[in-house]
């Protein structure tokens, strides 16, 4: 095997029930001498950290040394065969494919009537579950039966028409899915739209495919992808309530569609996660309180699970909500729970999720004045750049870094960081106006001969920020870093956390929710993927 740890990683990914099933499978179906492979399985499973030399030494007492690589290769593939059978009943795709394969076996033995029955069963199941590519495979087998029986041209024409229809449905869903993933890729690569022209480019991506209604009425999965894309566009345009409503509309569609049946972790839960995220952004706490328990109840909490990341994502929302309410001590406690969950993960967490969590934790420590810890978290984000870190997350971290070092009074370091940040934003042409005015402000403060002159600069910057606070292209950045409240704290001469809490209470008292800056994410709760 190419990597010596592959077998170890595969074994460690198995649940208790899967290990039990493999032992039964190995005893019933494996070749002669399978007990040796089970012994190898047990030797590797007993290790917490893979040590191939130890496994090799202990295994070779029972088998010739030259057979060790062969044994690993055989065991690896035996586990995959067992997992294939273990999950066959849960996978619609495997069920349909298996039925079609069985139909071909019968056909090759001239048992045509039996073969046709299986093909009809597979076709009906494929259509019911919107597996259009498998429906086409069944249609083509049925066409083979018709050709064998010498069917008239009318019958052949009907079959071809059905094949073309299923191909249209498949292509329509693919185009809707393509528009969705292109939009997500654009956001990750370039960040949020910064002006109306870029927003029109996003809209063009979504309008490139067929409009819903032509075929989406016959394919719920295509309609869901189309609606998902629309929700993403609403989100990047700052219409958080509209995006949340779009995601809500998807939930009954998911429940009516069998396309994602049996894989709620890939479908319904990411939609609920998006509703929770957007509810925080829209300051709709009633919606958050309605959907957040559903999200927690549905997440997989085993640190070994491939879906553990959804649980981590759900935990990020707790400190975000406390931050929105100015409750920093509660946010700190929720952040510590989040950090424990991330440390316990036995599967890799995505870079977007890790950066999202680090940014939320950095906001907590910034508000509490724990600047050293805040800098550690920001440095962790910068280290993720080579892993494909979303550009908007990196940009925000750069500005946050300037604010933290400004609070610490790191004058010499700030001069270097300012030059570096300026080069970054100019080279990438990615800066918001708010980023530019913050950089200009810090430059001006460094030129001041005394801090007594800063009060006027803070007031000037606050006035500039308030002028663009309602700009939908600037509000996401400003709210993420809560620059307006930070500036108010400087003008008033009070701690940032105190100013944040007073701002929340004032907004609650006046009903002016728009006055409340909220530290929230630009990441969706997950990606909708096809069924099993």
The secondary structure of 193-229, three-state, reads CCCHHHHHHHHHHHHCCCCCCCCHHHCHHHHHHHHHH
* 335 confidence band (pLDDT: 50, 70, 90): very high
Q: What is the DSSP string of 351-400?
A: HHHHHHHHHHHHHHHHHTT-HHHHHHHHHHHHHTGGGT--HHHHHHHHHH
The mean pLDDT value for 64-76 works out to 76
Residue 216 has pLDDT above 60, yes or no: no
* Percent residues over pLDDT 70 in the chain: 82
245 is a domain residue: no
Is residue 19 one of the residues assigned to a domain?
A: yes
Domain boundary among 69, 86, 103: 86
Cβ atoms of 358 and 377 within 8 Å: the answer is: yes
Cα–Cα distance for residue pair 309/303, rounded to 1 Å: 9
Cα angle, residue 49 at apex, residues 47 and 55 outer, rounded to 5°? 50
Percentage of the chain surpassing pLDDT 90? 22
Q: For the chain, how many structural domains are there in total?
A: 2
Please tell me the distance from the alpha carbon of residue 526 to that of residue 520, in angstroms, as a whole number. Answer: 16
Q: What's the pLDDT band for 317 if we cut at 50, 70, 90?
A: very high
What is the per-residue pLDDT for 354? 92
- List all residues 6 or more positions away from 288 whose beta carbon is below 8 Å from its beta carbon: 276, 279, 280, 317, 321
| Helix, strand or coil, per DSSP, at residue 346 | coil
Residue 86 has pLDDT above 80, yes or no: yes
Q: Which stretch of 220-224, 253-257, 524-528 has the lowest confidence by average pLDDT? A: 524-528
Q: Is residue 388 part of a domain?
A: yes
Nearest-10 Cα torsion for 352, 528, 204, 171: 140
Domain-located, residue 224: no
Distances (CA, A) of 403 to 127, 379, 406, 482, 485: 56, 14, 5, 11, 13
Do the domain assignments include residue 294?
Answer: no
* Average confidence (pLDDT) over 411-416: 84
- Of 130-134, 212-216, 506-510, highest mean pLDDT: 130-134
Report yes or no: 503 and 489 within 8 Å, Cβ to Cβ. no
- Is there a domain that residue 532 lies in? no
Span 212-221, mean pLDDT?
Answer: 55
The range of the structural domain enclosing residue 347 comes to 304-515
Q: What is the CATH number of the domain that holds 322?
A: 1.25.40
pLDDT band per the 50, 70, 90 thresholds, residue 305:
confident
Mean pLDDT of all residues in 415-437: 76
Residues 109-158 have pLDDT tens digits of 999 999 999 999 999 999 888 888 999 999 999 998 998 888 899 999 99
Q: What is the dihedral of CA 219, 225, 228, 232, to 10 degrees?
A: -150
CA distance 459 to 373: 28
Residue 193 covered by a domain: no
Average pLDDT, stretch 63-67? 58
- Average pLDDT (389-406) is 84
Q: pLDDT band for 528, please (50, 70, 90 cuts).
A: very low
Instruction: Check pLDDT > 70 for residue 468.
Output: yes
What pLDDT sits at residue 61? Answer: 65
Taking the C-alpha atoms of residue 159 and residue 140, their distance in angstroms, rounded to an integer, is 8
pLDDT at 372: 93
State yes or no: pLDDT of 219 exceeds 80: no
Average pLDDT (479-490) is 80
Confidence of residue 32 (pLDDT cuts 50, 70, 90): low
Q: Which residue has the tokens 């989406």?
A: 216
Where residue 452 falls among pLDDT bands split at 50, 70, 90? Answer: low
Domain boundary among 20, 55, 86: 86
pLDDT score of 254: 75
* pLDDT tier for residue 93 given thresholds of 50, 70 and 90: confident
Tell whether 188 is covered by a domain. no
Nearest partner of 402 among 356, 461, 474, judged by Cα? 461
pLDDT of 265 higher than 60: no
């Amino acid at each position: 095997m190419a990597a010596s740890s592959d077998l170890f990683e595969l074994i460690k990914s198995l649940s208790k029930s899967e290990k039990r099933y493999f032992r039964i499978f190995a005893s019933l179906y494996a070749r002669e001498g399978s007990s040796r492979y089970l012994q190898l399985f047990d030797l590797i499973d007993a290790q917490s950290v893979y040590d191939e030399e130890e496994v090799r030494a202990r295994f070779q007492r029972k088998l010739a040394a030259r057979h060790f690589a062969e044994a690993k290769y055989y065991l690896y593939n035996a586990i995959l065969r067992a997992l294939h059978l273990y999950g066959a009943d849960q996978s619609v795709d495997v069920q349909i494919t298996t039925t079609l394969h069985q139909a071909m076996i019968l056909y090759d033995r001239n048992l045509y009537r039996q073969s046709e029955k299986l093909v009809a069963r597979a076709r009906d199941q494929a259509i019911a579950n919107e597996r259009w590519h498998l429906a086409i495979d069944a249609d083509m087998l049925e066409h083979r039966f018709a050709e064998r029986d010498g069917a008239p041209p009318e019958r052949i024409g009907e079959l071809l028409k059905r094949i073309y229809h299923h191909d249209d449905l498949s292509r329509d869903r693919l185009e809707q899915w393509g528009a969705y993933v292109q939009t997500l890729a654009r956001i990750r690569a370039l960040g949020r739209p910064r002006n109306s022209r870029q927003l029109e480019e996003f809209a063009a991506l979504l309008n490139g495919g067929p409009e819903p209604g032509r075929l989406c009425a016959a394919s719920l999965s295509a309609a869901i992808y189309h609606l998902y894309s629309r929700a993403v566009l609403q989100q990047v345009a700052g219409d958080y309530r509209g995006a949340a409503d779009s995601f809500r509309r998807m939930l009954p569609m998911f429940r009516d569609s069998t396309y994602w049946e049996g894989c709620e972790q890939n479908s319904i839960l990411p939609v609920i996660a998006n509703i929770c995220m957007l509810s925080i952004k829209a300051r709709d706490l009633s919606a958050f309180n309605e959907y957040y328990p559903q999200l927690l109840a549905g997440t997989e909490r085993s640190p070994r699970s491939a879906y553990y990341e959804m649980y981590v994502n759900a935990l990020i929302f707790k400190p975000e909500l406390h931050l929105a309410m100015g409750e920093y001590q509660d946010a700190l406690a929720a952040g510590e729970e989040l950090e424990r969950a991330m440390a316990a993960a036995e599967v890799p967490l995505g870079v977007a999720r890790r950066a999202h969590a680090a940014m939320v934790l950095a906001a907590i420590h910034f508000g509490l004045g724990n600047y050293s810890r805040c800098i550690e978290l920001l440095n962790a984000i910068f280290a993720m750049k080579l892993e494909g870190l979303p550009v908007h997350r990196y940009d925000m971290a750069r500005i946050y870094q300037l604010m933290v070092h400004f609070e610490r009074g790191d004058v010499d370091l700030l001069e270097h960081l300012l030059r570096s940040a300026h080069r970054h934003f100019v080279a990438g042409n990615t800066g918001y106006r708010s980023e530019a005015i913050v950089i200009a402000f810090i430059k001006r403060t460094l030129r001041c001969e005394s801090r007594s002159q800063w009060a006027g600069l803070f007031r000037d910057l606050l006035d500039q920020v308030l002028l663009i606070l309602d700009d939908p292209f600037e509000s996401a950045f400003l709210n993420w870093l809560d620059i307006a409240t930070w500036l108010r704290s400087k003008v008033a001469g009070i701690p940032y956390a105190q100013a944040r809490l007073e701002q929340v209470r004032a907004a609650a008292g006046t009903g002016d929710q728009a006055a409340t800056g909220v530290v929230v994410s630009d990441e969706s709760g997950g990606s909708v993927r096809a069924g099993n």
